[in-house]
Amino acid sequence: EVMSAPLLSVGERAPVHEALYRMSRERIHRVGVVDDAGALVGLVTATDVLRLQARSALALVHEIEQAADVEALGAAHRRIERLVVRLVRTGVPTPELVRTVAQLNDRVLVRLIELVRARDFPALTTRFAFLVLGSEARREQTLATDQDNAIVHADDLGGDELTELERFSHAVIDALIGIGVPECKGGIMARNPEWRRSLAQWKHTLERWYGTPTPEHVLAGAMFFDLRTVYGDAGFERELKQHVAAVLHDNARFLVHAGANVVKFAPPLGLFGRLKTERKNGRRTMDIKKAGLFLITEGVKVLAQQAGHVDGGTRERIHALATGGVLRPAEAGDIEAAFDWLAELRLRAQVQAIEAGGKPVNELDVDRLDSIERMRLKVALETVAMLRTLLEQRLRLETVR
């Protein structure tokens, strides 16, 4: 193998993330390890470090799955944030990191449902599914995410079964809040009757949302387009997705209103493509979600709705749109790169807030970026502007202005 020269090194007492940071910054795959006298005592590779981090994630998965009660599960859940902070600092690629967060959150939710059910609802019906919605369904959660969930159940449940399922939904949501998962400010939670329905009731509701695109229906319909079963009978999910695809087929009216809701958000670019920021405590800041992530996830979703792609997250939808000819390969590549970079900046901002003793936020400190990173941000936002224009043209959004 070819080794870079001179050999870069770290001290044997240095934290693991320092070694990976040096490798990432210098674009190399190994560094030397030296003792206090400066003598070389070994080598560490990027693969070594990533394997170590993977083991720490696997250890956390084991702790989650072995949690004997909700309190123990809460302790494991709190460790997810600390693990993510460590992984961000060690330079783990953002798509891989986001997948890890999604997998851990799924494990927590499934184990919590198992514990609540075994403890308080042993006779609960099995003819239902607990669904997650939005970013959680797309497996794109980061650290500042509340809960969005729903329940779908069989049409012919009896009165006692429905009462027990209602009690169960309240117990699960209360337990989630208890272990630190924030409740949804918009009330999109399975304990609320409008988000806990039979299969037939959900189909009727979806026909109403997609058939009469009021602002409230557009938001609800967009949220429910992203759904995924984490517990229960996945057959309900498949039937709901088939129904959504059928209702949206040739439904130009809903798509136009959904697209119009997306393009209301313009990327913060000023004259000559300069970054538009806000001043906060003497620093230049930017809400990275509003700046571009929302427009990419929701804009790609509208294009996927139009093309009939009901599965997957944003990256999978981008690939499907490219395969189907909706996006040119270069457009798809640019949108995916912009999505990944903005997601990385969002994670960085959240980690910085946590390390400063605060809660994870979407507010990016632009002054902490170097010149190359600011240029990459500008290019990403220019790609967001391109996607926004594409949406306007494809959906002929002048019809709703």
* Percent share of the chain, pLDDT over 70: 93
Give tens-digit pLDDT for 339-396: 999 999 999 999 999 998 988 889 999 999 999 999 999 999 999 999 999 999 999 8
Assign 96 a pLDDT band (cuts: 50, 70, 90).
Answer: confident
- Looking at the fold, whether 144 and 192 belong to one and the same domain comes out as yes
pLDDT the model gives residue 38: 86
Residue 1 lies in a domain: no
| Cβ–Cβ under 8 Å, residues 293 and 343 | yes
Helix runs in 40-158, H state only? 46-65, 70-89, 94-120, 134-137
Does the pLDDT value for residue 195 go beyond 80?
yes
Task: Please report, for the domain that includes residue 21, its CATH number.
Answer: 3.90.1280.20
Query: pLDDT for 124-163, tens place per residue?
Result: 999 999 999 999 999 998 886 789 999 999 999 999 999 9
- Tens of pLDDT, residue by residue over 18-43, are 676 577 567 677 888 998 888 888 88
Nearest to 138 by CA among 227, 222, 220, 219: 227
Q: Nearest to residue 49, comparing CAs of 4, 12, 93, 19?
A: 19
Average per-residue pLDDT in the chain?
Answer: 91
Q: What is the domain count for the chain?
A: 3
The least confident of 201-205, 323-327, 351-355 is 351-355
The predicted pLDDT at position 273 comes to: 81
Predicted local confidence at residue 364, as pLDDT? 95
Q: What is the CATH number of the domain that holds 315?
A: 1.20.120
Nearest to 84 by CA among 366, 348, 332: 348
pLDDT score of 209:
97
216: CATH:
3.30.460.10
78 and 31 within one domain = no
Residue 305 has pLDDT above 80, yes or no: yes
Percent of the residues in the chain that have a pLDDT greater than 90, as a whole number: 71
Q: What pLDDT is attached to residue 219?
A: 95
Domain ranges, residue 15:
9-46
Same domain, 113 and 54: yes
161 in a structural domain:
yes
pLDDT band at 55 (very low <50, low <70, confident <90, very high): low
Please indicate, yes or no, whether residues 151 and 223 belong to a single structural domain of this protein.
Answer: yes
**Any bridge partners for residue 278, and if so which?**
285
